[in-house]
Amino acid sequence: MSEEEGTKEYAYFLGCITPNRYPGIEAATKRILKEFGIETKEMMGASCCPAPGVFGSFDMHTWLPVAARNLAIAEEMDLEIVVTCNGCYGSLQEADHLLRENPKLKEKTNEILGKFGREFKGTTKVNHSIVVLHDFIGLDRLKERITKPMNGVNVAVHYGCHFLKPREVRGHGSSETPYILEDLVKVTGAKEVDYKDKLMCCGAGGGNRTADSVQSLEWTRQKLVSAIEEGCDCMVHPCAFCHLQLDRGQEEMNKAFGTDFNFPILFATQFLGLAMGLSQTECGLDIQTTTMPEKLLK
């Protein structure tokens, strides 16, 4: 196959949450990409991205060389990067942007990297997996592979903060009227349902999950309640860290507040995987907190 038909290789930046908490996200993503001739290569020696809302906010000159080192690994592989976490996306893409735009910052960063035999050259690109699905594979090709349409399923999409902003760096159009997840959901035959807190943070961002767990979970509760009140059957998103908050957070809320949340949370490739005929186990949905209703597993 030619690259135009879909053959391509990416350096897969796993991040922290995907391999340690939700390997099903990795499994579903690799499986679907491979269906379209796209191979993912492990980034040997990669570290934490590091987290943009914590490291990047407090000490840019520590955050930036760590992120640049990860970019340099992909450059040595001569591959573009693909990610399954908005935090990783934000950290790596913003680091790449800063280093390309600021020669002095690049020089200072490379002085540090040089001590460890690395150099940032600016030859890679950071891609989010849902953008690869939407723009590189394309909606028409995805639709051809749907074998179990999600007809009658109402979906609340959640973007998360770092995928949409800053808009000028991300390059996905308006951060107030996103469209990528909506398009991917509709390809499966499901209905994307608007809800009040659609663009609200999951509750975990900026260290809030660690610093103030009660407030963090309250944001999560508000978002889930808004989706449930609109008759949504599940939530589909593009971020491993949001997945942790939205999935595991329900168990935490039930213990802390005496609630009984069990609202299905799916990464975009897990949802597409089910629609393409993959089993719950193949998508890793049987090892997370929330359980999948028969409506999604038909």
Residue 3 confidence class, pLDDT cut points 50, 70, 90: very low
Is residue 56 over pLDDT 80?
Answer: no
- pLDDT digit string (tens) for 255-278? 989 999 999 999 999 999 999 999
Provide the Cα torsion 100, 103, 106, 108; round to 10°. Answer: -170
pLDDT beyond 60 at 2: no
Among the ranges given (189-193, 213-217, 245-249), the one the predictor scored with the smallest mean pLDDT? 213-217
Q: Which domains are seen in the chain, by residue range? A: 6-128 (1.20.1050.140), 144-290 (3.40.50.11810)
Give yes or no for residue 174 having a pLDDT over 70.
Answer: no
Q: What is the pTM of this model?
A: 0.94
Residue 57's pLDDT band (cuts 50, 70, 90) = low
Beta strands in 20-59 (DSSP E): 38-42
In the DSSP assignment, the letter for residue 137 is I
What pLDDT sits at residue 223?
A: 95
Greater confidence (249 vs 298) lies with 249
Q: How many CB atoms within 10 Å of residue 255?
A: 9
Residue 7, pLDDT > 80, answer no
Q: How many CA atoms lie within 13 A of 96 on its CB side?
A: 23
First to last CA, the chain: 33
Q: At what angle do helices 268-275 and 180-187 cross, to 10 degrees?
A: 20
pLDDT at 37: 96
1 against 193, higher pLDDT: 193
Taking 90 as the threshold, does the pLDDT of residue 86 lie above it? yes
Q: Report the pLDDT value the prediction gives residue 212, as an integer from 0 to 100.
A: 74
Confidence of residue 6 (pLDDT cuts 50, 70, 90): very low
The dihedral through the CA atoms of 154, 160, 164, 169 has a sign that is negative
Q: What is the average pLDDT score of the chain?
A: 92
